[in-house]
Amino acid sequence: MSYDPVQRHFAIEKLVTRMGPDGQEKKYYRIRPARWYGGIVTADCVGCGLLCKFCWVSDALMFHPADFGRFYTPRKIADSLVALARKRDLKLLRVSGGETTIGKPHLLRLLDNLKGKGYRFVLETNGIPIACDESYAETLSRFHFVHVRVSLKGCSEEEFAMLTGAKPEGFTLQLKALQRLMDAGASCHPSVMVSFSSRKNLQTLIQRLRQISPRLAEEVEIEELILYPHVVRRMQKHGLKCHRAYMPDKVPTEQI
C-alpha cells in the first residue's frame, strides 16, 4: 500500500518540530564532521517524509522519529555547526540524516544565523516540501551562501514508487522543486540515485531535466549506493536488488 509523500512530510513535521521561545525547534541527534564534499560539518536531523528502501538511517530513526533526538533551536544548531567547522578548519556546512526542509521556519532561522559567517551551506533535500510551497524556493534563493542539492530517488515516477514505496507523483514533485528553484534563481543541482536504474531510464531523465533547464542536465550528479550493512539488510527486507554499488571502504574519490 503506497503512501502520499506530501501528507507524510506534514505528519513527520508534527513529530520533529515544535515552537519554542526562540522560534521553531527541530529534532537532531548528532553533529559530526563528514568526509563528503572534501569535508563538511553535518548536523543530523530526525525525520523524513519518505521511506527509501536504500536509506542509510537506522530503522529506529526512520520509523520512530518521536522517540529519538532532542529539540534544538536554530541558533544552537548554527553555533554548533560553526564551532565544529572552526575546530576542523572546514568551510562547508549541511544538515543531513533526515529531510532538511521539514520545519521551514527553523531552517530559515538557521540560515539567518549562518549568514555572513563565511561558510557555504549545502542544502540536501528530496525537494518535496519545496515543490509544495510556492515561496520556499524564492526564499532560499535569497541566501547566497546556500546551494541546494535535490536528491532524486530514481529516474522516473515508476522507479521513485519502487524505491520509496510512495505514490509515483512524488517524483513529479521532485522535478517541480528543481523547476521552482531554477525559476527563483537559486543555486542548485540535481543528484540522482542510479544504482537501480537502466541507462535508458537515466537518459530519459536527463532529457526531462534538459526541458527544465539545460544546466540541470549538464550538472546532474550521479549517485551510487554505498552498501552499509544496515542498507543491505533493509534492501533484503524489501527484496530490492541494485545494479551497481560500492562497499563503504571502496567508494571512489570522485564520489566523495
Could you list the residues that contact ligand SF4 (CB under 6 A)? 48, 50-52, 55, 57, 98-99, 126
What's the closest the beta carbon of residue 89 comes to ligand SF4, in angstroms? 28
What's the closest the beta carbon of residue 87 comes to ligand SF4, in angstroms? 26
Nearer to ligand SF4 among residue 48 and residue 173 (C-beta): 48
- Dist CA 71 CA 23 (whole Å): 11
**Around Cβ 217, how many Cβ atoms within 10 Å?**
16
Nearer to ligand SF4 among residue 41 and residue 166 (C-beta): 166
Indicate the SS3 state at residue 47. Answer: coil
Nearer to ligand SF4 among residue 143 and residue 160 (C-beta): 160
C-alpha cell at 194: 542510479
What's the closest the beta carbon of residue 27 comes to ligand SF4, in angstroms? 14
What's the closest the beta carbon of residue 13 comes to ligand SF4, in angstroms? 13
- Dist CA 250 CA 227 (whole Å): 10
Q: Which of 96, 99, 104, 100 is nearest to 48 (CA)?
A: 99
Nearer to ligand SF4 among residue 50 and residue 92 (C-beta): 50
What letter does residue 166 receive in the DSSP assignment? B
- Answer positive or negative: Cα dihedral of 160, 63, 137, 119: negative
- Dist CA 102 CA 8 (whole Å): 11
- Dist CA 231 CA 218 (whole Å): 30
Nearer to ligand SF4 among residue 47 and residue 74 (C-beta): 47
What's the closest the beta carbon of residue 20 comes to ligand SF4, in angstroms? 24
